[in-house]
Structure 1
């Protein structure tokens, strides 16, 4: 692809899905120099001419003046990566999108430029029915292919009739305060303990936690600065005194130099990986005897839910979590027991009534029944004269 870009006058044709080059001697010389062994037909042998239709070659890519060099899958993927870099997509998003595009090309077994709506639909059906991917993975695959066909291949009509999957309305798992205490007791390593406390006390995402720097902590104000969070947004969230003390112990143990990551990884100038943090939290949950599946995001859910149960306004929780929409934050109203705790369960009413009746019967058995009082005969009154 870089060799084609070095030719003067070249341009990409979305309609033909090919590079168009000028039909002159300079271009012919450049093609022979850049692609040794290629057969360059003379001018006037474009794809619509008789010579262009019957032209074949033995080595190198097909070259005809007017429409040349259909890019292969690798070249298209390079173009896709370049477009995502220029659009400032995150490295994680670029990796996911390129992975889906590459696997689609391998599955389709045809050039990416020749794939259409039917191939995309069959590939998504294969992912859903045979690979049994989740709804979120399904949505990622649609987004990746949409970017490929709209931004790179310039064929937006391919995915125009491809729907996105509906989201699950599942509720997040939340730990109780007792479970959080058990989790903290199960973490002994200073670095791991500081990480778990930061995740729970600040409600940050795991990707935000590993990218923290020492200067992001403001213990005097009790705040933690999150740089470049989801949506490339900065924000402040809470910093607990206990969490800051744990971070200080971690810094003494780790000896982190200034200007680097708060939680450095094994490689120089690299932060700790998110997968390592996930393993630490999951194993701590198992050691603590927690029956629920514990992940870093579980601690984020627990942070938000317990703030809501403590009476914190939903708007403040949205700011702390970095949610763009209040609808995302409102899900915690469905898992909070702030209002449910006021409701008296009808089964408990039945138990109270049974206990009351049992106490009455027990008292009746122990209390002696008084003997019947004998009645004295009363003489009849004598009336006055």
Structure 2
């Protein structure tokens, strides 16, 4: 997987998923495992333990990848079926809620991290992998390097964010990473970033189970509501397919607000 440039996160996820499957058949030689065994594992382990469809998909991905490379087995990879994924709407915050969250911290570092995620629609890992040189103030862009799918992309740099970044930089003077942990030269941890958001939610008394990804979803939805074309939103988010972005049309309230309910005429 490393030779094919899979991310360490994907390698870890697939390894754990495959470990679960192979442990289930620990008494059976790998070369004897067949498609019927996959169905039995699904019914006897995944469904029995009420595990999610997304976890089942991870299992399927791991099994397919493993048995494509292991020859001389009874598994027919192309006949392994995936579960139907639930079509869930993305979680979106109102602009007022976003403003409360972003202004919750007086600490400029914490405030800048959360604000940058929302203003550029960043994934958590993309924020933590930023370097000072990725902020191009002259061109007014943020360069997101080797994000999901090993792709580079750019996002517009808000003048307000640039002011915050300059204040933050003067105070902290990061060396290697834009946002560093306690030890200089080490990136800020994912756990600490999640804690920053959790503290912000507590300060403004928002009890929704908000995650960092909600800020990214809110960025896309608010762009759509302000009239931004879906194709541009696709580029800004780094999505391969435009279909991925169509979910935001289902949570945008701009069009809904223009529809008059027949109840009003009663």
When normalised by structure 1's length, the TM-score is 0.64
C-alpha change, 1:268 and 1:126, in structure 2 (3 Å) is farther
Shift of 1:343: 1.6
Higher Rg of the two aligned structures: 1
Higher relative contact order (CA 8 A, sep 6+): 2
Does 2:66 align with 1:148? yes
- Select the residue among 68, 75, 79 that pairs with 1:157: 75
Shift in Å, 1:144: 0.5
Shift of 1:129: 1.9
2:19 to 91, 102, 106: 102
User: Relative to 1, partners in 2 of residues 1:280 and 1:132: Cα closer, same or farther, differing over 3 Å?
Assistant: farther
How far the C-alpha of 1:113 sits from its partner, in A, is 3.9
The equivalent residue for 1:67 is: none
The answer to whether the 8 A contact 1:100-1:144 is kept is yes
Three-state SS of the structure 2 residue aligned to 1:121 is helix
Match for residue 160 of structure 2 among 236, 242, 251: 242
| Structure 1 residue 261 corresponds to structure 2 residue 261 | no
Q: Secondary structure at the match of 1:157?
A: coil
Q: 2:96 aligns with which of 166, 171, 178?
A: 178
Cα distance in 2, alignment partners of residues 156 and 274 from structure 1? 41
- The count of aligned residue pairs is 265
221, 225, 228: which one aligns with 2:143: 225
On the 8 A contact 1:305/1:335 being kept in 2, the answer is yes
Contact 1:150 1:156 in 2 (8 A): no
Cα displacement (A) at 1:159: 3.5
Structure 1 residue 267: Cα displacement: 5.6
TM-score (normalizing by structure 2)? 0.91
Alignment of 1:24-103 (within 5 A): 84-103=1-20
Question: Residue 275 of structure 1: CA displacement?
Answer: 3.2
Which residue does the alignment assign to 1:328?
Answer: 244
Asked whether the equivalents of residues 127 and 138 of structure 1 are also in contact (C-alpha less than 8 Å), the reply is no
Show the counterpart of 1:3. Answer: none
Matched residue SS, 1:166: coil
Shift of 1:89: 1.0
